[in-house]
Chains A and B, each alone.
Chain A
Amino acid sequence: MINEKEEVKHVSYLDHQGEYKGIFAWIFSTDHKRIALLYLYAIVTFFFVGAILGLMMRFELAAPGETIVKPQTYNGLFTVHGVIMIFMVVIPGLSAVFGNFLLPLHIGAKDVAFPKLNRFSWWIFIVGSIMAILTQFLRHGPPDTGWTFYAPYSTTTGTSVILATSAAFVLGFSSILTGLNFIVTIHRMRAPGMKFFNMPLFPWSIYAASWIQLLATPVVGITLIMLIFERVFGIGFFDPQLGGDPLLFQHLFWIYSHPAVYIMILPAMGVITEIIPTFCQQKVYGYKAIAISSLAIAGVGFLVWGHHMYTSGMSEQARWFFSFLTFVVAVPSAIKVFNWIFTMYKGSIDLKPPFLYALFFIFLFIIGGTTGLILGSVATNIQVHDTAFVVAHFHYIIFGGMGFAFFAAIHFWFPKIYGTMYNIKMANIASIALFVGFNLLYFPQFIIGYQGMPRRYYDYLPQFQWAQVISTVGGVVLFIALVMMVTNLVRGAKKGQPAPANPWKGSTLEWTIPSPPSLENFDEDPVVKKNPYDYNS
């Protein structure tokens, strides 16, 4: 048996028979690809829960006054929508799903460094998620603090804040362990010959994001525990009556939560950096600049948290300094955008769904990024702080950026994951509908935000109604487009045509192996000696 050089029959990871059967073959699996799919299914489910909560808010805002829910229910809606979308969808989204699936494939490894820890991370992710969703149904009612849990309100409100913050803590722990796993994987498990600067750029972005997960999450962890203890034992860290300082909570919270937006967007940028050279059949422009800009974003991103607090009470010096750093952190992001566009220059562009999503990403990211500078400069921030302008801005970045990159990634790697192809025409139609619905939903919020419509308000002046109605229509279009997209993908996975190993003519390692990959990915360790984006040689 050992000496026979017989061709071993290819068994994909989807069909592989391990020691467990049925559903246990999945939830007890340590295979990074199966864990990635577990994350994918969980996150898509949570995404739709969050989206439905968002849609309910849109219907409520369709007309001034009470429309479908009571004010307190509305407070619960935007809080739980935020908690689900931030902690359960966008933070783990790309890194836990596509990082898990692709990181070992991109660097030529058989699995991540600690497969059992990886499985454990998914388990506690699910525990934390269940806790977060439970808050919606408990006796005291859903938390009504907003996802930011600002003290002192969060220490006094009677709603289920403790369970919600515990959920965020558990989810943070899962995020830390995932980041730790990926950093060790990248350091120790690259294929022979692959240096750091031979890695594809998606692992680079995962690497940068993992460091943020590792170093920033503990700070919010301790903050949330302090909040819980404050509620239970009345310690008074954040209570001015006991000598504490509510601003301290805001600082500690944003020390994590601003870097957290880079946990969301860095892997998204990595996905776009993979897609654009593939569909242009062109070597990526400025490889090193893109790689290092990921680290630069991660590094400077730690120092800009104060721009969330210009109106909370900070010294003049602190404000201009945070404002300056906010402009600095925009530079590496802009470097990436320019590099993507230069990569397209003189390329042979193939307008397939992943590339279409990537283009939408760039468009929406530019709008979201530049409006971020309006918020980041102190003077203009005073006008638009805590208005619908902020809501529009971060939905352009988080949904238009990370969300569209997620859709781009799923359409790009779908044939590798399932070994089949979805209906390309359907995918194109859904992506355009998504783009239209998205802009209808969020762009009007910029305008009324600028005119003074506050965020998180249940009611508003009649003069804003025109925009709220457009937004609500956009929300419905967006939701229908999402359903179209998912239906197309599910049908593709079940009944799609078999896809070849390399349908998009990609050049990174995952396209060199059959689709879907086998349990151990590579039959023999790949040896890498060249840049991953050599299309012309």
Chain B
Amino acid sequence: MSNQVNHAHVHRDDEAQKLGMWLFIFTELLLFGGLFLVYSIFRVQYSANFHESSLELSVTFGVINTVVLLISSMSVAFALTAVQKGNYKFAMQMILLTVILAGVFMVNKYFEWGGKFHHGLYPGSDLMEFLDNGHHLFFGLYFFMTGLHGLHIIIGVILLLISYVKIKRGKIQSDNFMHLENAALYWHLVDLIWIFLFPLLYLIS
């Protein structure tokens, strides 16, 4: 009998969960690291083309999105602190704010991508045939990197929404908040990657 139930006995190790999340973040960094490597190689090879292409990107859009993500990082940090202090209502509001800001980012991104498609600046378009290889690679990388980043935003939002439900059901509490802390860590990672993507794609000339 005792060995029927004893597997369910709660063995909680917050440190282990945090360590696990950090290790997973390492893998994410290396995933993007491979892309940054490819980017830097082609940038050296086609620096003039990359410069011209980056001028096509709207710095305004980029800055807005950067600010939006930075604020969302702050709001998710507020949410975590609020949970630790037992202020669950404020924490849930802050998570919702983070999700809304993520939505703003994605809508912005949608219009940005739409504009590029409208101008024919995507791999395989008719216009690309007339442009240099460097332009082609730049926009290939642009869509690939921001697309992969967008996918990470969606994953981050899902993690945050799960945390939201868990707070609502009382599964996350002021002494048991690892799920939210890990979701927040992941969200900071998503933010951090954008902090690298933004200058690499929009600003460096």
Contact = CB atoms under 8 A, between A and B. Distances in A.
Q: Quick one: which of B1, B28, B124 has the most chain A CB within 10 A? A: B124
Given A188-B13, A188-B15, A237-B140, A222 B27 contact: no
A291 B37 CA distance: 32
B136 A236 contact: yes
B35 interface: yes
Contact of A243 (B4, B28, B124, B134): B134
Contacts of A134: none
B133 A222 contact: no
B30 A188 contact: no
Given A222-B35, A235-B123, A242-B137, A520 B6 contact: yes
B137 A218 contact: no
Contact of B27 (A214, A518, A519): A214
B136 to A, nearest CB: 5
Interface stretch (B18-26, B53-61, B185-193): B18-26
A300 B200 CA distance: 30
A180 interface: yes
Contacts of B2: 1, 8
Interface in A190-236: 214-219, 221-223, 225-226, 229, 233-236
A358 B171 CA distance: 51
B7 A520 contact: yes
A113 B20 contact: yes
A221 B6 CA distance: 39
Interface string A424-464: 00000000000000000000000000000000000000000
Contacts of A235: 123, 137, 140, 143-144
A252 interface: yes
B98 to A, nearest CB: 25
A127 interface: no
A243 B46 contact: yes
Contacts of B32: 222
B123 A11 contact: no
Contacts of A57: none
Nearest to B135: A243
B150 to A, nearest CB: 14
A244 B33 CA distance: 18
Interface residues of B, number: 40
Helix, strand, loop or mixed for chain A's interface?
Answer: helix
A245 to B, nearest CB: 7
B23 A184 contact: yes
B123 A223 contact: no
A491 interface: no
B48 interface: no
B34 A252 contact: yes
A114 interface: yes
A21 to B, nearest CB: 14
Contacts of A237: 38, 137, 140
Given A215-B26, A520-B7, A244 B137 contact: yes
Given A219-B34, A222-B34, A243-B133, A236 B23 contact: no
Q: Quick one: which of A114, A244, A252, A519 has the most chain B CB within 10 A? A: A244
Nearest to A19: B4
B195 interface: no
B16 interface: yes
A483 interface: no
B41 interface: yes
Contacts of A117: 20
Contact of A184 (B3, B16, B30, B123): B16
Given A16-B3, A235-B123, A243-B134, A222 B20 contact: no
Interface string A236-251: 1100001111001000
Contacts of A222: 31-32, 34-35
Contact of B41 (A17, A236, A245): A245
A226 to B, nearest CB: 7
B7 A243 contact: no
Given A242-B133, A243-B133, A245-B41, A520 B3 contact: yes
Given A184-B20, A244-B137, A214 B7 contact: no
Contacts of A217: 27
A216 B34 CA distance: 10
A113 B31 contact: no
Contacts of A252: 34, 37-38
Given A243-B137, A518-B3, A219 B30 contact: yes
B189 to A, nearest CB: 13
A183 interface: yes
A229 B144 contact: yes
Nearest to B20: A184
Contact of A233 (B28, B35, B41, B124): B124
Interface in B136-164: 136-137, 140, 143-144, 148
Nearest to A110: B11
A244 B136 CA distance: 10
Give me the 10 closest cross-chain CB pairs, A-B, nearest first. Answer: A243-B133, A235-B140, A218-B31, A222-B34, A218-B30, A188-B16, A218-B27, A219-B34, A234-B124, A180-B23
17 contacts: A1-B1, A11-B3, A110-B11, A113-B16, A113-B20, A176-B27, A218-B27, A218-B33, A219-B30, A221-B31, A222-B34, A226-B144, A236-B140, A242-B136, A252-B37, A520-B3, A520-B7
Interface of A: 1, 8, 11, 16-18, 30, 110, 113-114, 117, 176, 180-181, 183-184, 187-189, 214-219, 221-223, 225-226, 229, 233-237, 242-245, 248, 252, 255, 518-520
